[in-house]
Amino acid sequence: MSRTVAEKMGVRAGSRAHVVGAPAEAIAALQLPELAHAADGDLDYGHLFVTRQDEMRAAFPPLRDRLAPGGTLWVSWPKGGRLGTDLTIRSVIAIGYDLGLVESTCLRVDDTWAALKFTRPKRGTVYANSYGTLPGA
C-alpha cells in the first residue's frame, strides 16, 4: 500500500496546522489526517500555496514566525510554469533562505503542485546551497 502525500510529508494527526492558499484539489491530493487547525499560535505544520515570488515573500514570514520547535513549513508552487507562475525550485529555495529557513525534502502534491519542506536551521550547522544564502551567513 502506498503512503499518502501527507504521510510522506510527516504530517501527523492532531498537529497544530495552518494551510494558506490551497486549492480544493490540492487539499484532496494531500489526504491530510485530522488536524488541529490553528489560526494563531504555534504551528507543527504550516503549508503555503503560492504562484508568485512576491506572494511567497509576503506570506512566508508570518508562517515562519509561528513555527513550533521542530515545526515544518511547506511551500507549494505550480510545477513547470503552470498557472503563470514565476516560481521555480531555485527561486523557492532562494526566497526561503533569504527569509531564514532551510529546505530539505521536495515532493509532488499532484499534477500541478510541487512542495518543498522548510525548517529552522540547526545551530552549528553550515548550510551550503548554491541557490540561497541564510542571512548573516
The answer to whether residue 21 sits within a structural domain is: yes
Q: How many domains does the structure of the chain reveal? A: 1
Amino acid in position 14: G
Q: Above 90 in pLDDT, residue 39?
A: no
The answer to whether residue 20 sits within a structural domain is: yes
> Is 53 or 126 the better-scoring residue by pLDDT?
53
The answer to whether residue 24 sits within a structural domain is: yes
Q: Above 90 in pLDDT, residue 128?
A: no
How far, in Å, are 64, 85, 91, 96, 98 from residue 68 at the CA level? Answer: 9, 30, 25, 17, 20
The answer to whether residue 78 sits within a structural domain is: yes
The answer to whether residue 81 sits within a structural domain is: yes
Q: What is the pLDDT of residue 42?
A: 96
The answer to whether residue 133 sits within a structural domain is: no
Q: Which domain covers residue 11, as residue numbers? A: 5-119
The answer to whether residue 35 sits within a structural domain is: yes
The answer to whether residue 137 sits within a structural domain is: no
Q: What is the pLDDT of residue 137?
A: 67
Residue 85, domain CATH: 3.40.50.150
For the residues 106-125, what does the mean pLDDT come to?
96
How many Å apart are CA 39 and CA 125, to the nearest integer? Answer: 32
> Is 18 or 128 the better-scoring residue by pLDDT?
18
- Among residues of the chain, what percentage have pLDDT more than 90? 86
Q: What's the whole-number average pLDDT of the chain?
A: 95
Mean pLDDT lowest for which of 40-54, 95-109, 114-128?
114-128
Q: Above 80 in pLDDT, residue 69?
A: yes
